[in-house]
Each structure stands twice: as C-alpha cells, then as structure tokens.
Amino acid sequence: MTGGASSRSTSQSSRGPTPEQLDKYRRCAILHVDMDMFYVGVELLRTPQHRGKPVIVAGLGARSVVLSASYEARKFGVNSAMPLVQARAACPHAVVLEPHREDYSYYSGLVMAMFREITDRVEQLSVDEAFLDVSGAIRRLGPPVVIARRIRAEIERRTGLTASVGVAETKTVAKIASAHCKPDGLLIVEPQHTLAFLAQLPVTKLWGVGKRTAAILQGAGLTTVGDIAQTPVNRLRSLVGDAAGHHLHQLANGYDPRAVTPIREEKSLGAERTFEKDISDTAQLKRVLLGLSHDTAARLRRHGLRAERVGLKLRYADFSTISRSRTLNHPITSAHELYTESAALLDHLGPRKQSVRLLGVRAEKLAASDDALQLSLDGREEEWGAAEQAMDRVHSRFGPGMVRPAKLLDPTVPNRSAGDILDNT
C-alpha cells in the first residue's frame, strides 16, 4: 500500500544508488513501526486457537479494565481502558485472556533490538512502537521501502507478530501513515504527495487534537486536515489558542522539523499493580513489591540506566493516594536494592488504618549505567546486579519467566508468579 507512490521498490544496481537516488531516498527515510494489537498478539502466541475470534486482554477481577482488544472485538466497540464489565456487555462472546507482562517486555526487547540492527537512530515511544531514521542504512540495505519490508518480515519471522509501518518525510506523517494502513500494512507517503494525503484526513488524526479541540474545530466548520491547512493561522489561534493554532497549522501543512531522537531522557521508570481485592497484610504487600522491583530493574538494565532515588506509591481503599521517595547513597540497578529501599519506605509509613488498593515502585533520578558511579562499599549491588543479568540472559534465550525468585511463587498455584494474579490498571 502506498500514498501516491509506486508499490514497486526501486532496484539497486551492484554499484548502489546514485547520488540523486540517495538524496531522494533520504528525504523520505523516517519510519514509524507500530505493532498490531501487541498485547493480544503476544497472548495469541500462547493460545493460537483463539486467532480470528474477539479477544480481550484483561485481568479477571471486578475492577479490571481492558488492556488490549483484537480487531474482531473492536468491531463491537471494545477499546483499551474500558472497564471489563462494560466490554463484556458490548461483546459477550469475547474470549478474555489474562495478561502475561513478562512476555510483553520480552517481545518488546526483541523487536527493539531488531530495529537497532538496522539503524542506531531509534526513538522508542512505548513497548510496541518506535520511530526509525534509516537514512544512514540506505547504502547498505536499499531504499526505505525495502528496509520497511525487511523489518516487517523479520518481526513476523522471529516473533510470530505483525507490525504496520508508515514511511514518510516527517515523524507526524509517518505515524499517521502507520495507523492508516493497520493491520499488518505498509504505507509510503512520498514528499510530493504529503499535502494531498493529509488533506483528506479528519482533524482528529493530527497529534494534539483531542475530543475538546476536535469539537471546537468541527464547530467552526473545519472537519479535515485540509481545512486546517487552508485556514489562516490567526483564525486557528483565535479558536484554540496561540500555541495550538500555530502547531496545528504547521502539521496540517506537512511541516514537522523534529528529528528522530535515539535517546529519550527518562526521568523515571516504574511498575504498579491494582489489586482485585484490597490488601492489608504487610507480608503480602512486600511480596508484591518484590515482583514490581524485578519488573522495574529489568527495564533499567534494558535501557542501560541506574537509579539514584526510589519511590513508593500507595492508593488506599478510599482512593486517597500517597507517595514517598528516598535518595540513595549510590546509584542502583538491581531488583534486590529496589526492593530493599521500597520495603523500607513501606515500613516507615507505620500502621495503616485502611487496606491498600494499589501499590507501585518507581526508579527515579536516572543516569546512564556507564557514567561515573560511586559504587556500594561492600559490593552487594554489583553482586546482585550480576545475578540478575544472568537471569536476563536466561530469559533472552529461553523466554520470559523461566527464572524468578522463590518468594514470587504463588504457594496455592504451581509455577505462578505474584504478578500473574494481579490486575494492572
């Protein structure tokens, strides 16, 4: 599928592209890769018998919300973040699968590693999508459309998952293009066709246009991106404000100078759980903290980061929420240290008058792990880090969840971790 462009790839001679061809390819070398219904896709690797059926990924508790839904379920109005009770009412015959969060991290890591085999200009937006600037890979791998096809084929071959890819001159258009060709599609929007491609789209397709802004624009008779492009910027400013009006006018006219940024500054990383039933037992809460600490530490190592501060979040049964944090004497990356510090924060809260509805752990004040470090005096952080890196290698080779701390085994369910019986909202 292409946007005003030929679906045929340009053949490469043995001498490679000419300077003119290189210039043309590099003008349209930003890819937005978006995995198709990622959470559902990963769950279907475990349960392929449900392919083609309406599938909802969610915890089974009364408070659960939809994490993801298959395209078959979406036809019935099921969407992510919808309460599961409401989703079941909309699609009573849907199959509900409980989430396996270790699997999502594992497959996300595989996919992002594939991207970095292509180019070092990878800007990860979430677990299942990223921008790639492939201009530096053209001499080696061919035109961007060829690279996009290779990426899609490799993702499916190595993981069994599918992805949609938009190729364009700018990040905005590439992202719109990937959404436009879902599921399992490829759409190239060449520079000379950008304005025509954008003009036909509803205003809601532009970044920054939510329900409120869309209602204002549509109320003023501006229903398509083309309408916005042709509207004087002063009128847009009067409708939605100076900054938003200027921003929308630029995007509608295909202007987006932002480069693909390989390193996105992460201020914090974390994990949290909302419980199916409120918990008051401290030992049970600490067991959950341990699982959250391992989830967070694995993400730290995957991003090459260490934390200089640890945060704890609690939401009580009455929905009141408190947060506590402590700055550390040395940067850490191990789950053991994260757990030790977060458990101490929990203890310092003292006796609780209410049970706990939600519990979360955050690693804050992040720094690159190869920065100059003040190491722990007794070396325990390095020892725990080495042990957990060994766990990472086992998971990378044999799949997620193969090795876990004994404390995370549910005594009532063989080989089941604490994270598996909790609903993450």
3-state secondary structure of 137: helix
Q: How far apart are CA 191 and CA 167, in angstroms?
A: 10
Interacting residues of 245 by C-beta distance below 8 A, sequence separation 6+: 233, 234, 235, 236, 237, 238, 239
Residue showing tokens 């049964």: 317
Q: Dig out the tokens for 417 from the structure.
A: 């971790």
CA distances from 251 to 74, 169, 215, 226, 243 (A): 29, 12, 18, 11, 12
Helix (H) or strand (E) holding 236: helix 233-240
DSSP E strand stretches across 85-219: 95-97, 122-126, 129-133, 163-168, 186-189
The response to whether 128 counts as a known ligand-binding position is yes
Nearest Cα to Cα of residue 348 among 315, 309, 321, 322: 322
Q: How far apart are CA 135 and CA 161, in angstroms?
A: 26
Answer whether 198's CB lies under 8 Å from 252's CB: yes
Interacting residues of 172 by C-beta distance below 8 A, sequence separation 6+: 206, 207, 251, 254, 256
Answer whether 83's CB lies under 8 Å from 58's CB: no
Helix (H) or strand (E) holding 2: strand 2-3
Return the bridge partners of 323, or none: 313
Nearest Cα to Cα of residue 38 among 120, 99, 116, 89: 99
Nearest Cα to Cα of residue 266 among 362, 367, 335, 360: 367
User: Which residues have a catalytic role annotated?
Assistant: 129
Q: How far apart are CA 229 and CA 223, in angstroms?
A: 11
Residue 234 has a CB neighbour count (10 Å cut-off) of 12
The response to whether 371 counts as a known ligand-binding position is no
Residue showing tokens 């340009």: 10
Q: Dig out the tokens for 280 from the structure.
A: 């008051």
| Cis before 183? omega within 30 | yes
Q: Dig out the tokens for 88 from the structure.
A: 């079941």
Angle at 237 between CA 235 and CA 238, to 5 degrees: 65
Annotated binding residues for Mg(2+): 34, 128
Annotated binding residues: 34, 128
